[in-house]
Amino acid sequence: MTTRPTSRDSKPEESAVDGALAAALADFKLDPARSYTAQVHDALQQAILRGVLPPRTALSEATISSLIAVSRTPVREALAQLAEEQLVQIYRQVGTLVAPVSLSLLEEGRFVRSTLECASHVQLALAITPEQLAEFGRIVERQRQAVADGQVDQFSELDELMHRRLFEFAGRAHVWTMLEPIKRQFDRVRWLLLGHVAGHADRALREHEQMLAQMAGRDVAGLGASVAAHINHITEHLAALRQQAPASYFTD
């Protein structure tokens, strides 16, 4: 005879979910001068992008509201925004879950990044200043230290900084801003790769070092090929990632 689960039976699962939310929001500090909705949105978005809240994690309005001491209204509004960004899925009468990584959106992000970064960085190589090149070198050196220290989070943040600064060096800061929503699934996979696939950070660092050398040498042809390979490697590593991460993390 089968028995129906009781509230006691569900407590361990609920406790694990609440624990994941508590960990994701542990450093949250509410700024009374800023929109509460924007702050909740930003905190949850970063936790999802970094895999702190993995795909299929339940997001309870009540729990989030309690953890950060805000009313449920800004939490509900933040979750609605995340749903529009396809980072969460809201099911009526069921609840809200962190969305799985969309492979189709990942491919769109890869294509757009590869196309725009190749074009922009190749043009930048012809006009980059000594000061910009020196800053590029300092960022790569900090990445090298982060890899040596096993600081995956720091390396990823420096990776993001490097790519953004290269667009800014080229006078195309708005292009990077435009890329932000397009590359979110790409960013989720990048964080998962750093945490699950051995050697991913080392490989990325070597590619950054090669791009730096090619930009310094004005090697336009070599740089274009390196940038394309650097962006496209994410799809090569995806197979290894899918073998290690739960199948529920991904959707076509």
In the chain, where are the structural domains located? 7-99, 102-251
Task: Count CB atoms within 10 A of the CB of residue 156.
Answer: 22
Q: Tokens 């809200």 belong to which residue?
A: 96
DSSP H helices, 61-199, are 61-68, 72-84, 103-125, 130-149, 152-169, 173-182, 184-196
Contact status, residue 19 vs residue 56, Cβ threshold 8 Å? no
Q: What is the pLDDT of residue 81?
A: 97
Asked whether residue 139 carries a pLDDT value surpassing 70, the answer given is yes
Alpha-carbon dihedral 37, 152, 250, 102, rounded to 10 degrees: 60
Classify residue 31 as left (phi > 0), alpha (psi -120 to 50) or beta.
beta
- The matching CATH number, chosen from 3.30.2130.10, 3.30.70.141, 3.40.640.10, 1.10.10.10, for 7-99 is 1.10.10.10
Contact status, residue 107 vs residue 144, Cβ threshold 8 Å? no
Residue 62, C-beta contacts closer than 8 angstroms, at least 6 positions apart: 72
**C-alpha angle 44-191-41 in degrees, rounded to nearest 5:** 15
- The matching CATH number, chosen from 1.10.760.10, 1.20.120.530, 2.102.10.10, 3.40.50.2300, for 102-251 is 1.20.120.530
Region 151-162 average pLDDT: 92
Higher pLDDT, 141 or 13: 141
Going by pLDDT thresholds of 50, 70 and 90, the confidence category of residue 9 is very low
Q: What is the pLDDT of residue 14?
A: 55
Residues above pLDDT 70, as percent of the chain: 92
Residue 58 pairs in a beta bridge with 97
Mean pLDDT of the chain: 89
Q: What is the pLDDT of residue 247?
A: 84
pTM of the model: 0.82
Asked whether residue 107 carries a pLDDT value surpassing 50, the answer given is yes
Asked whether residue 154 carries a pLDDT value surpassing 80, the answer given is yes
C-alpha span between 249 and 98 (Å, rounded): 10
Contact status, residue 56 vs residue 248, Cβ threshold 8 Å? yes
Region 3-18 average pLDDT: 48
Tens digits of residue pLDDT in 189-198: 888 777 666 6
Region 155-184 average pLDDT: 94
Task: Count CB atoms within 10 A of the CB of residue 79.
Answer: 21
Asked whether residue 243 carries a pLDDT value surpassing 50, the answer given is yes
Q: What is the pLDDT of residue 165?
A: 98
Going by pLDDT thresholds of 50, 70 and 90, the confidence category of residue 25 is very high
